[in-house]
Amino acid sequence: MSLRHAILVLLQDQEASGYDLAREFANSIGLVWNATHQQIYLELGKLNDQHMVKFRHIPQDGKPDKKLYRITEEGRDELIRWLRKPAAPPRIRDAFMVKIAGGALSDSSSILRELDDQADLRRERLHTFEALARKLDEQGREKDLFTYLTLRRGILDQQAWLHWADEVKTALNKREILSTSA
């Protein structure tokens, strides 16, 4: 997947500014694809140059004009082409998992500290995803079914990670007890 396709997905139903898109990355598509403001604006420029999006200027008092982007027919055709193509398996790049794999060379207390920090972030993310899912439920999830299904995947991922973190804590605490009693 590329950033261009994530942006086209967000623009498929409504026009949005670069700022709006960045906010949507934080609240929805960011579950599965991360992008900075700078990356989003750079990609919007490329999509505009390739006639996949158009924008209109909205004058603002005391601020620069806002650009509202919308998908074009060329952009919609590209998005449909991409949606019909099988997705490549995701690449995993998780530095903390590499630390766990090399954990025999580290001390359990430093691993547990980092595990707690990671778990705090995961719990925060889980609460955010659950709140968004509740909001969609209240509004009628059928209206945004695919966003809801994406949120459910995010919720399950966070829950599974937290369950795994509990297993790691148990195993490392048991290992510590065995090593001190030996």
Q: What is the pLDDT of residue 1?
A: 58
Taking the CA atoms of 27, 32, 34 and 35 in sequence, report the sign of the dihedral they define.
negative
Please report which residue ranges of 63-144 form alpha helices under DSSP H: 73-84, 95-101, 108-139
Structure tokens belonging to residue 113: 């500290």
More confident residue, 176 or 1: 176
Q: Could you read off the pLDDT of 154-176 as tens digits, one per residue?
A: 899 999 999 999 999 999 988 87
CA distance 61 to 67: 14
Burial (CB count within 10 angstroms: exposed 0-12, middle 13-18, buried 19+), residue 82: middle
Domain coordinates in residue numbering, the chain: 3-84, 95-181
One-letter amino acid for residue 107 of the chain = D
pLDDT for residue 182:
63
Cα–chain center distance at 92: 14
Per-state percent for the chain, helix, strand, coil, to nearest 5? 70, 5, 20
Average pLDDT over all residues of the chain: 90
Reported as a single tens digit per residue, the pLDDT across 39-89 is: 999 999 999 999 999 999 999 898 888 999 999 999 999 999 999 999 888
Question: Which of the pair, 107 or 160, is modelled with greater confidence?
Answer: 160
Which position has the higher pLDDT, 1 or 43?
A: 43
pTM to 2 decimal places = 0.76
The percent of residues in the chain predicted with pLDDT above 90, rounded, is 57
Q: Between 3-11 and 73-84, two packed helices, what is the crossing angle to 10 degrees?
A: 120
Residue 92 has pLDDT above 90, yes or no: no
Q: How many CA atoms, within 13 angstroms, populate the side-chain half-sphere of residue 24? A: 17
The second-level CATH assignment, the architecture, of 3-84 is Orthogonal Bundle (1.10)
